[in-house]
C-alpha cells in the first residue's frame, strides 16, 4: 500500500464491508473459524461418500472451505496491524464476502430446477437422477411445456448469477488504484458493489417466488424440499439488506476510525450477526443433512436443455458401456 496516498483525506474510499480487522474481531473470527471447520467433514462426505455425493452443492462446499481460510486471516490480522494494510488481503476478503451468499443462491437454482423438473415429469422420463434416490409413488402427470419453461428460467438465473460474479471480480483490479488515490476507481467499486448486491437480491426473490409458485401450483412437488429452499432464502435475506445499509459509507483511508468506518463495537456486532451468522446457518442447513436425498437430485441434478438431451449421468453411463464393449472386443482378439 502506498503510505502517502492511503492517508489522503480527500479520498472517498468505499468502507470495506465489516470494516478492517481490529482486536474486536479476534474472538468472533475464531468462533466462526472453528464453527465452519466443524462443517468440513460434511463437505468431504459430499465428495467421497457415493450416497451423499452431489455436485449441486459445489458452491456451498467451496464457500465453507474458503470461510475457514478467511476467518483465519481475519483473526491473525486482528492481532497484527501490518497485515491489515495489505491491499491483496483486503481484496480477497471483500470479494469473498460479496460472493459467498451468491454462491449458495447458485446452488439453490440447481436444486430448484431438479425439484420442479421432477414435479412435472413422469418417472420414466427422468434419467438425470438415480432411481434409488426417488420415491415417486403414483405415476405423475407429464407437463412438458411447464418443464421446458422451468429449465429456461433456471438457465436465465444462472446467466444472471454470472452477470453478478464478473463485475465483483473486476473490482479487484480497481482496488489498488482506488487505495492509491484514484477517486474514479473508488467510485466504480461503489457502483459495482451496489450492482452485485442488487442482482443477488433479484436472484433471491426470484427463487422465492418460483418456489412458492411450485408449492401452490404443482401437486406432485416435494413440499419438504420447497420448505428447505424457502428456509435457506429467509436465512440469507438479512445479508443483502445489511449490505445495502452499510455500503454507502466512505472513508479517507483503510485505517480510518472516522464515522462510517464500521470499526465501532456495534458495527462489528452487526456485521457478524447479519452477514456472517446467516452464511453459517445456510451452509449448515445444506451440508449437514443429506440434501441429495431431500431433493432426490442424484449426483448431478438436471442440467439437460430438453427431455431429448442426454443427462450427465446418462452420457457417463453410455461412455462406460462403450469402454466395456471396447475391452470385450480387445479381449476377444487376444
Rounded to whole angstroms, the Cα distance separating 140 from 137 reads 9
Query: Which parts of the chain sit beneath pLDDT 70?
Result: 1-9, 81-85, 122-140, 308-320, 322, 325-327, 331-334
Rounded to whole angstroms, the Cα distance separating 115 from 108 reads 10
Rounded to whole angstroms, the Cα distance separating 276 from 151 reads 32
Residues 6+ apart with CB under 8 A from 217: none
Cell numbers given for 286: 445444506
Is the distance from CB of 15 to CB of 261 less than 8 angstroms?
Answer: yes
| pLDDT at position 313 | 53
| pLDDT at position 89 | 87
| pLDDT at position 198 | 95
| pLDDT at position 20 | 86
The string of DSSP codes covering 172-183 is HHHHHHHHTT-H
Amino acid at each position: 500500500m502506498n503510505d502517502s496516498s492511503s492517508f489522503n483525506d480527500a479520498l472517498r474510499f468505499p468502507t470495506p464491508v465489516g470494516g478492517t480487522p481490529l482486536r474486536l474481531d479476534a474472538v468472533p473470527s475464531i468462533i466462526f473459524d472453528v464453527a465452519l471447520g466443524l462443517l468440513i467433514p460434511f463437505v468431504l462426505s459430499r465428495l467421497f461418500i457415493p450416497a451423499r455425493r452431489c455436485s449441486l452443492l459445489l458452491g456451498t462446499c467451496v464457500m465453507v472451505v474458503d470461510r475457514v481460510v478467511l476467518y483465519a486471516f481475519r483473526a491473525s490480522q486482528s492481532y497484527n496491524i501490518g497485515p491489515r494494510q495489505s491491499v491483496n488481503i483486503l481484496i480477497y476478503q471483500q470479494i469473498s464476502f460479496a460472493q459467498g451468499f451468491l454462491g449458495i443462491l447458485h446452488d439453490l437454482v440447481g436444486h430448484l430446477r431438479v425439484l420442479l423438473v421432477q414435479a412435472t415429469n413422469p418417472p420414466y422420463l427422468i434419467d438425470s437422477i438415480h432411481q434409488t434416490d426417488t420415491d415417486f409413488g403414483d405415476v405423475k402427470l407429464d407437463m412438458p411445456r411447464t418443464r421446458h419453461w422451468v429449465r429456461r428460467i433456471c438457465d436465465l438465473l444462472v446467466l444472471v448469477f454470472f452477470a453478478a460474479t464478473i463485475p465483483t471480480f473486476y473490482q479487484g483490479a480497481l482496488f489498488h488504484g482506488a487505495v492509491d488515490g484514484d477517486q474514479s476507481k473508488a467510485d466504480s467499486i461503489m457502483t459495482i458493489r451496489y450492482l452485485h448486491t442488487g442482482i443477488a437480491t433479484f436472484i433471491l426473490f426470484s427463487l422465492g417466488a418460483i418456489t412458492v409458485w411450485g408449492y401452490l401450483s404443482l401437486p406432485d412437488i416435494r413440499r419438504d424440499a420447497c420448505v428447505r429452499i424457502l428456509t435457506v432464502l429467509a436465512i440469507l435475506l438479512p445479508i443483502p439488506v445489511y449490505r445495502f445499509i452499510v455500503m454507502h459509507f466512505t472513508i479517507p483511508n483503510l485505517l480510518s476510525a472516522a464515522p462510517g468506518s464500521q470499526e465501532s463495537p456495534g458495527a462489528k456486532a452487526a456485521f457478524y450477526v447479519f452477514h456472517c451468522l446467516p452464511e453459517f446457518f445456510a451452509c449448515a442447513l445444506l451440508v449437514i443433512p443429506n440434501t441429495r436425498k431431500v431433493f432426490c437430485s442424484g449426483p448431478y441434478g438436471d442440467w439437460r436443455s430438453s427431455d431429448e438431451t442426454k443427462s450427465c449421468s446418462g452420457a457417463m453411463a453410455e461412455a462406460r458401456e462403450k469402454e466395456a464393449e471396447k475391452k470385450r472386443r480387445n479381449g476377444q482378439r487376444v
